[in-house]
Chains A and B, each alone.
Chain A
């Protein structure tokens, strides 16, 4: 790994995004608008306090998954990835560059969304707000890692977008937001125990209910999933192709 190349890659990814202001606006504003919609639907109050933090976990995961999977699919199909790998770029330079760039975007997204939720919509959490943001950033990294990995199994943008209902929606359904995880049928509870988003949402609930939230265990699990997915993603980056 070469820090020079990792940083150059992160800067390049952000530069590409800068030329696409509409995507930036959608990434940064839509989560806040959806939270506002939810607040309006439930007229604020206790239900919003419960769902709001969970959504703060889900948005960055979903958004970064979509952006990363499509961006890296483009690198694979346009030949830029092959060119980079024929240069001194290491696989982890490439992966870490993306993780760094989109992690930064996720941080801004989480700051905006959490500020809107707490400042304007009176979201009440027992734990400190900065923890919400920290969890959100780790979720974003999880989305980046999953997106990088999945892009290896798609040959078109149509295919890659179809991985969202296949891989993200089940995690959303089983993460404990709709039915608490311990009230799920046993089999489904077991499944939810091996899905990373469950731990992200657990961490958010902990921040919401506890004045002294213990979330590092859950964050560790989310980070562990990200690292494993990045390693699997690295295995799909091949210098030599048929």
Chain B
């Protein structure tokens, strides 16, 4: 129990007339790097929002570091990066990060470190509004690296980035996990699965699998994560005829 960073039981989220998540359970160990994979619309972002505590939930419990999700004490311990970059387009990269660092009470020296970690050092004084989409989402990601967050919830942080940078960022995520942080990283690109120690596959708001990649491949006999995913979808549809 003490080693759980995230504990979800019976989570139910309804958005409009749509039940996005229903009776959803999930445990995530401290210091782990978990990939949250699934097609768009599978409920990944909603699940992440519930973990951060910005999603209205219809039922169930979400605990983060032993506290209810969104608890006041969690606000500088849990870092969250949305899919759309939430940064100020009319400020420079450095001004954005300085502001967020002051809000978090993080040392100002974190700003330059975070900018280097997302490889934007040469652009630090450029206006965010003039950056490319991929650069802008890296500014948003850098915000999550300020301070010393114990849990990082990152919604598709590597989408639209070039392969070299993607590898670098996954190395960074692994390093953060090795240092003791808990990371939950979503992606709809299945080949990113191989970078995570553990995979949570989501489809239409249901947990399809929760395993390591080798475990998943052994269980399904598939050659890669995408194959395993398709296999599990087929199996789920046979079990529950729609």
Contacts and interface: CB of A to CB of B under 8 A. Distances in A.
A82 interface: yes
Contacts of A19: 90-91, 127
A87 B75 contact: yes
Give the size category of B's interface with A. 20 to 34
B103 A8 contact: yes
B82 interface: yes
Nearest to A83: B86
A9 B103 CA distance: 8
A79 interface: yes
A87 B103 contact: yes
A183 interface: no
Contact of B82 (A15, A20, A82, A89): A82
Contacts of A78: 84, 86, 88-89
A230 B84 CA distance: 28
A83 B143 contact: yes
Contacts of A85: 54
Given A19-B127, A82-B82, A87-B100, A4 B90 contact: no
B84 A79 contact: yes
Interface string A8-52: 110110011001100000000000000000000000000000000
Contacts of B88: 12, 16, 78, 80
Nearest to A81: B86
A70 to B, nearest CB: 12
Contact of B99 (A12, A79, A82, A240): A12
A15 B100 CA distance: 14
B75 A20 contact: no
B53 A16 contact: no
Contact of A4 (B15, B52, B78, B105): B105
Contacts of A16: 88, 90-91
A79 B52 CA distance: 14
Given A12-B91, A240-B53, A82 B86 contact: yes
Contacts of B90: 16, 19-20
Given A82-B86, A89-B103, A242 B91 contact: no
A238 to B, nearest CB: 9
B120 interface: no
Contacts of B82: 79, 82-83
B76 interface: yes
Nearest to B84: A79
Contacts of B72: 88
Contacts of A241: 54-56
A66 B104 CA distance: 29
B70 interface: yes
Interface string B77-98: 0101010111111110001000
B80 A86 contact: yes
Nearest to B14: A242
Interface string A198-242: 000000000000000000000000000000000000000001111
15 contacts: A8-B99, A8-B103, A11-B99, A12-B91, A20-B90, A78-B89, A79-B86, A80-B88, A83-B80, A83-B82, A84-B103, A86-B52, A87-B76, A241-B55, A242-B16
Given A5-B103, A86-B78, A86-B80, 9 more contacts: A4-B102, A8-B103, A12-B91, A19-B127, A78-B84, A82-B82, A85-B54, A87-B103, A240-B54
